[in-house]
Amino acid sequence: MLNSILAISGKPGLFKMVSQGKNMIIVESLLDKRRMPAYGSERIISLGDIAMFTDEEDVPLRRVFKSIQTKENGAKIAIDLKKAGNDELRAYLQEVLPNFDRDRVHTSDIRKLIQWYNLLVDNGLTDFEEPAENAEDVAKE
């Protein structure tokens, strides 16, 4: 599911890929449901390709979202991002990802993580399970 949800640099929110053209893709904003083209020259990344830095290895974003979902019982995160201080945001991430790299994970990254999670919950996109093909690979190892 996270592979079809995109973040586009310079544009607020998240986008769902709707269609693909020759030099662009058509995306739908999860904020206001408007559709627009996104061109290859823009920095577009799938949420399935993003990972958080930890002290040992990078953790896929889907695992971080799953941990948040478990902590919040599937509800939105109740932190007010406009009023929350750096210490409060870092303490929250400490609860859901205890070994995150304090040097490489910035407060702005934590804010974005919380915004994205709340946006996904608002839109009912809460299937953060591992894809079936990855689960089979892990089982073989």
Say if residue 32 is in the same domain as residue 54: no
Residue 132: per-residue pLDDT = 66
Say if residue 54 is in the same domain as residue 42: no
Say if residue 54 is in the same domain as residue 115: yes
Residue 139: per-residue pLDDT = 47
Say if residue 31 is in the same domain as residue 59: no
Low-confidence ranges of the chain (pLDDT < 70): 132-141
Say if residue 78 is in the same domain as residue 112: yes
The residues near 25 (Cβ < 8 Å, ≥ 6 apart) are 17, 18, 19, 37, 38, 44
Containing structural domain, residue 10: 2-47
User: What count of Cα atoms within 13 Å lies in the side-chain half-sphere of residue 1?
Assistant: 15
Q: How far apart are CA 33 and CA 25, in angstroms?
A: 15
pTM: 0.86
